Chains A and B, each alone.
Chain A
Amino acid sequence: MSTATLDVHEVPTGSRVNYLNAQYGVKSWLLTTDHKRIALLYLFSITLMFFVGGTFAVLMRLHLIEPQGALVQPETYNKLFTMHGVIMVFFFLVPSIPATLGNFLVPMMIGARDLAFPRLNLLSWYIYIIGAIFTLYAVISGGVDTGWTFYTPYSSSFSHTSVIPTALGVFITGFSSILTGLNFVVTIHKMRAPGLTWFRLPLFIWAIYATSIIFILGTPVIAITLFLLGLERLLHIGIFDPAIGGDPILFQHLFWFYSHPAVYIMILPGMGVMSELITCFSRKRIFGYSFVAFSSLSIAVISFLVWGHHMFVTGQSIYAGLTFSVLSFMVAIPSAVKVFNWTATLYKGSISYDAPMLYALGFIGLFTMGGLTGFFLASLATDVHLNGTYFIVAHFHYIMVGGAVMAYLGGIHFWWPKITGRLYPDGWARFAALVIFVGFNLTFFPQFMLGYLGMPRRYAVYPSEFQVLNVMSSAGASILGIGYLIPLIYLTWSMRYGPTAGPNPWGAKGLEWTTPSPPPTENFEEIPVVTEDAYDYAHSTVTRG
């Protein structure tokens, strides 16, 4: 065992030049324009942010073990949930799959040597880092307590915390999303390999394309909104605060016009990953390719028209409520179509239970729960009761953690051998998937019940009848936290000690698997010519290796 490990360690990966060993030194990383290296820069940064945000979550759950609060003062608790939300949404979930897997895979999947604008791509990462520095500065300088939603007039006229640095961080990092989206759209339009028509593209590309459209169209709105918030807070120009002539509800319209589509920025790429995983581990063509592809686009379009469902109880007109309710039901249909098609893809397949597939199955289950509980909130009569309670918290964590994070981890496990050229211990990976699934449900399922019972969210202390369910949730959170640490450990371990991976360890289709692992800097020695549809497992022999 130890000698085997030693062997692997001593033999350099294939002894050939790849993107990882082509150049050495900090400068070669910080000035790289290679999309694969930039993907790794993002991977490192967002992993850091994930664990910062996760630490806040663990502290919150610990605090809530007791009704009167076990750990911190209410002011501190308010800062914890705010920083958790800001960091997880803007600095982890939004960039997660697009900026890491998307950056790595878009050129490789379409047979290109890099993105259309490699230097712009590096600039996106620097903008992200500058935004992150501002926000982390806000954490260190005392934190911010407005909630990640920055609702006015609390955020503009009342909060005494670091609102401006936080908002500035979010404002700045938005430009990184816009540039990344632009880069992907141009690349997907202009740089596909010969023969790779739109309907031969892997569905991951369709999902990233739909996400990029939201990046480009939606992100400027949050930038404008936060800019206006800054104007009001610094210069007291009355925009949102009624005391100086503004309208606080206007802020919510603007905020959710971006932030609802942003939910789909977080989940669409995950859906793209799912299509890749399900096909590979069942060795089947995706069932209903065009339905899955177009459902991504219709989600992207409809997602811009449902923002008002966050505001059913603000006193908006009944008729506006009805309109937003019907549109919110509509956006559920394409998601349901995807779930049915993934399930049907398994039919008569050859299904293996490798770790990425377990994450994928976890995704389907949790995403289905998350989506269906959305019906409770799209339904006006029940939303009135559930809005602003723990039901909301549970619902969106099922989508964003159960869905998006599961898909992200599934994707990381799937392409890890390609990215690093190393294999990770499969047993540990499956074990971690199980721990995460159990921990997740234990954390968030009780929150549905808490919400229905009427416990409002963002409460630092709570009536004691809610304690049992809160303790269950906190217990789940500690399991979930351990579940996330396990992959961090074995994936880091595998980078140095994992067995060397061949070009295609899963026997997967797709251009990225035709290259050596890790790929050379230029990706393909010769630009491939594509002659077959995506996921055409039936017409070729598959071999793992």
Chain B
Amino acid sequence: MIGLAKFGSTFLSSVIQAPQLRPEAASSIAEGVDHLYFVLTFITLFFTIAIFSTIFFFMVKYRRRAENEVPPDTEENLPLELAWTIIPTLICAGLFLWASSLYFENSRPPSASTEIFVIGKQWMWHIQHPEGVREINELHVPEGVPVKLTMTSEDVIHDFYIPAFRVKKDVVPGRYSSLWFQATKAGTYHLFCAQYCGADHAEMLGWVYVMSPADYETWLASGTPSETMEKTGEKIFNKLGCSSCHQPDGTGRGPSLVGDYGKEEDLKSGEKRLVDEAFIRQAIINPNSVVLKNYPPIMPTFRGQINEEQVLQLIAYVKSLASEERNSNGK
């Protein structure tokens, strides 16, 4: 059934060529989403036309010919009722399976993705590359490489939407959401905020520049000379005094963070938690909610002292400690 539907959609997409009817398709998932869209359009048109022409036919054929005309009863028809319950159910089941498997595929980022960080803020997008390059309302990405965005908001809920890539995800304060795409076509594409966020919501726009990997490297290198996110993170780590407790050899009052990222930790509450971005953020903002098993609850909160961007830089630093350990183990 899906095969047939795909055939239909390919046929339809060849018919619909007018540029105004179809948005640019510039990511690895866009074609798949559009095929589903075309089949849904076909189903919508088919049923609307079928029902309308049936009604029109009945209206003409059975129009009232005499004022006191009384037509005979029509028998109830159980097979017909079952047919028009079961057939739509099957169509729905097929659509559900197709759409869901596609969504499932589209939701999982490939493991080797380039990571970029996004912070939404009334009414602009702050973007930071791990190499340290910062952008505002612009996002430069390499073509043909999976890119994973880790996003959060400084204030209200925003939504990161690139129509040409068919991707969209809410950017929610207090948590990280992620989104991935693989751009397939060099060019410049709209970036919209798709969740109403206040006065200048409609101005919270930007552009996505898709470049060939070589151009992207040149662009990264020519960006304002700046230190990497982890380097900035390390500076904040020392400035805030984190290092006095979190000593690398574990002799401080807090746990050593070397090799901590990606590990499972036992909490005082008995819970086991994976140390990921969300966990580290929670530990910085609300430390008493994630006290480790063998440590006293003495860490102060840093809520209000650092912004979301700095939290991300700290996380980048903690992550780098993990890979250093792996590197040194490797050696």
A-B contact pairs, 11 of them (CB 8 A): A78-B201, A313-B170, A326-B96, A329-B92, A348-B62, A351-B58, A361-B55, A379-B98, A454-B192, A456-B161, A463-B190
Residues of B within 8 A of A282 (CB): 62, 71
Residues of A within 8 A of B170 (CB): 313-315
Question: Does B106 touch A at the CB level, under 8 Å?
Answer: yes
> Is the beta-carbon distance between A314 and B172 smaller than 8 angstroms?
yes
Of the 9-residue stretches A19-27, A88-96, A243-251, A520-528, which lies at the interface with chain B? A243-251
| Residue positions of B touching A, CB distance < 8 A | 20-23, 32-33, 36-37, 40, 43-44, 47-48, 51-52, 54-55, 58-59, 62-65, 67-74, 76-77, 80-81, 84-85, 88-89, 92-93, 95-96, 98-100, 102-104, 106-107, 122, 155-157, 159, 161, 163-164, 166-170, 172-175, 177, 190, 192-203, 205, 286
In the complex with contacts A325-B100, A452-B37, A369-B85 CB distance below 8 A: no
Distance in Å from the Cβ of B277 to the closest Cβ of chain A? 13
- Residue in A318, A333, A380 whose beta carbon sits within 8 Å of that of B88 in the complex: A333
In the complex with contacts A348-B72, A375-B43, A456-B192, A75-B89 CB distance below 8 A: no
Question: Does A199 touch B at the CB level, under 8 Å?
Answer: no
Which residue in chain A gives the minimum CB-CB distance to B94? A329
In the complex with contacts A288-B76, A379-B36, A74-B157 CB distance below 8 A: no
Question: Does A431 touch B at the CB level, under 8 Å?
Answer: no
> Is the beta-carbon distance between A537 and B40 smaller than 8 angstroms?
no
- Residue in A325, A330, A537 whose beta carbon sits within 8 Å of that of B70 in the complex: A537
Residues of B within 8 A of A382 (CB): 33, 36-37, 40, 99
Q: Bound complex: CA of A226 vs CA of B77, how far in Å?
A: 47
> Is the beta-carbon distance between A78 and B199 smaller than 8 angstroms?
yes
Residues of A within 8 A of B99 (CB): 325, 378-382
Question: Does A462 touch B at the CB level, under 8 Å?
Answer: yes
Question: Does A29 touch B at the CB level, under 8 Å?
Answer: no
> Is the beta-carbon distance between B199 and A321 smaller than 8 angstroms?
no
Residues of A within 8 A of B203 (CB): 74, 461
Interface residues of A in 459-517 (CB under 8 A from B): 459-463, 468-469
Question: Does A2 touch B at the CB level, under 8 Å?
Answer: no
In the complex with contacts A158-B198, A375-B44, A381-B102, A344-B80 CB distance below 8 A: yes
Given contacts A382-B36, A388-B195, 6 further A-B pairs with CB under 8 A are A74-B199, A329-B95, A352-B63, A388-B168, A463-B190, A463-B205
Residues of B within 8 A of A378 (CB): 95-96, 99
> Is the beta-carbon distance between A381 and B36 smaller than 8 angstroms?
yes
Distance in Å from the Cβ of A68 to the closest Cβ of chain B? 10
Q: Bound complex: CA of A123 vs CA of B123, how far in Å?
A: 45
> Is the beta-carbon distance between A159 and B198 smaller than 8 angstroms?
yes
Residues of A within 8 A of B59 (CB): 346, 351, 353, 361
Distance in Å from the Cβ of B255 to the closest Cβ of chain A? 25
Residues of B within 8 A of A248 (CB): 157, 172-174
Residues of B within 8 A of A346 (CB): 55, 58-59, 62
Residues of A within 8 A of B172 (CB): 242, 248-249, 314-315
> Is the beta-carbon distance between B200 and A74 smaller than 8 angstroms?
yes
In the complex with contacts A151-B157, A346-B59, A381-B33, A368-B199 CB distance below 8 A: no
Q: Bound complex: CA of A469 vs CA of B20, how far in Å?
A: 10
Distance in Å from the Cβ of B160 to the closest Cβ of chain A? 10
> Is the beta-carbon distance between B174 and A242 smaller than 8 angstroms?
yes
In the complex with contacts A158-B198, A318-B107, A379-B40, A453-B23 CB distance below 8 A: yes
> Is the beta-carbon distance between B202 and A460 smaller than 8 angstroms?
yes
Q: Bound complex: CA of A287 vs CA of B76, how far in Å?
A: 7
Interface residues of A in 351-394 (CB under 8 A from B): 351-353, 361, 364-365, 368-369, 372-373, 375-376, 378-382, 384-385, 387-389
Residues of A within 8 A of B20 (CB): 449, 453, 468-469
> Is the beta-carbon distance between A461 and B70 smaller than 8 angstroms?
no
| Residue positions of A touching B, CB distance < 8 A | 74-75, 78, 145, 147, 151, 153-154, 158-159, 241-243, 245, 247-249, 282-285, 287-289, 291, 313-315, 318, 321-322, 325-326, 329-330, 332-333, 336-337, 339-341, 343-344, 346-353, 361, 364-365, 368-369, 372-373, 375-376, 378-382, 384-385, 387-389, 449, 452-454, 456-463, 468-469, 537-544
Distance in Å from the Cβ of B290 to the closest Cβ of chain A? 14
In the complex with contacts A380-B99, A384-B106, A459-B58 CB distance below 8 A: no
Q: What 7 A-B pairs have minimum CB-CB distances, sorted nearest first?
A: A242-B174, A454-B163, A379-B99, A380-B103, A388-B194, A459-B202, A381-B102
Which residue in chain B gives the minimum CB-CB distance to A327? B96
Residues of B within 8 A of A337 (CB): 81, 84-85, 88
Which residue in chain B gives the minimum CB-CB distance to A361? B55
Which residue in chain B gives the minimum CB-CB distance to A454? B163
Q: Bound complex: CA of A249 vs CA of B21, how far in Å?
A: 34
Q: Bound complex: CA of A543 vs CA of B32, how far in Å?
A: 58
Q: Bound complex: CA of A307 vs CA of B264, how far in Å?
A: 34
> Is the beta-carbon distance between A461 and B48 smaller than 8 angstroms?
no
Distance in Å from the Cβ of A379 to the closest Cβ of chain B? 3
Which residue in chain A gives the minimum CB-CB distance to B289? A245
Residues of A within 8 A of B174 (CB): 242-243, 247-248
Which residue in chain A gives the minimum CB-CB distance to B163? A454
- Residue in A375, A380, A454 whose beta carbon sits within 8 Å of that of B40 in the complex: A375
> Is the beta-carbon distance between A387 and B194 smaller than 8 angstroms?
yes
Which residue in chain B gives the minimum CB-CB distance to A75? B199
Residues of A within 8 A of B161 (CB): 388, 454, 456
